Amino acid sequence: MMVNSAKLFSILILIYLVSPVRSAGQTDASGYPVLEIGTQSSNIFGKDSSGVIHSLHSVESKNILLFFYETSCHFCEAILPEMKEKYPEWKKKGYEIYALPLNKDFEGWQAQIREQKSDWINVTDTVNAEQIRQAYKITVTPTIYVLDEKRKIASTRLVRPEAIDEWISQHSENIIQKK
């Protein structure tokens, strides 16, 4: 039985489209897409509540906890008190938080940071939120990435403060073992 090339191509495309095996890129343990470890992070130029622009790549800290959230995300709100509590410890270990909402609710963001009163870098970019979401493969919030001193992705997607603690602990142990 002879199959012409157009028909064969159509069959292969159909198999590809319905196949669960096809790769959608790297994902985290929950199946959400993530950037691969070692990927150079895209620079972000977010404005703080005073209108001052803060470049992600210019943050003066060895490592950055890049915290993406939405002002309407209840889970994001729920982890803020624990993040605020743990922030001084993380900062002592060389980690700065660069927090950025990925929605366009500027007033909601301003109200939230006034209420939260955190010491980390809080910025927003309502114009480029969708491009940032795509560049960092954000499909769900909160999403937290660790960036190393070269501003490369050093962790998979972290969600909870205890996951950040665990990552920092494991990362520190690896550094000690290498010495």
Distances (CA, A) of 62 to 58, 91, 129, 167: 11, 10, 25, 15
Higher pLDDT pick, 11 / 168: 168
Least trusted range by pLDDT, from 10-19, 62-71, 105-114 = 10-19
pLDDT of residue 178: 40
* pLDDT tens digits, 80-108: 999 999 999 999 999 999 999 988 778 88
* pLDDT tens digits, 118-176: 899 999 998 888 899 999 999 989 999 999 999 999 999 999 999 999 999 998 755 43
Tell me how far the alpha carbon of residue 95 is from its chain's centroid: 15
**How many of the other CB atoms lie within 10 Å of CB of 96?**
19
pLDDT of residue 7: 58
pLDDT of residue 46: 93
Buried b (16+ CB within 10 A) or exposed e, 103-138: beeeeebeebbeeeebebbbbbbeeebeebbeebbb
**Nearest alpha carbon to residue 153 among 161, 144, 162:** 144
* pLDDT tens digits, 16-53: 444 333 334 676 666 777 788 999 999 999 999 888 99
pLDDT band at 73 (very low <50, low <70, confident <90, very high): confident
Q: Give phi and psi for 4, each to the nearest 5.
A: -75, 160
The domain made up of 24-178 has a fold known as: Glutaredoxin (3.40.30)
- Read off the tokens for 2: 């002879």
pLDDT of residue 173: 56
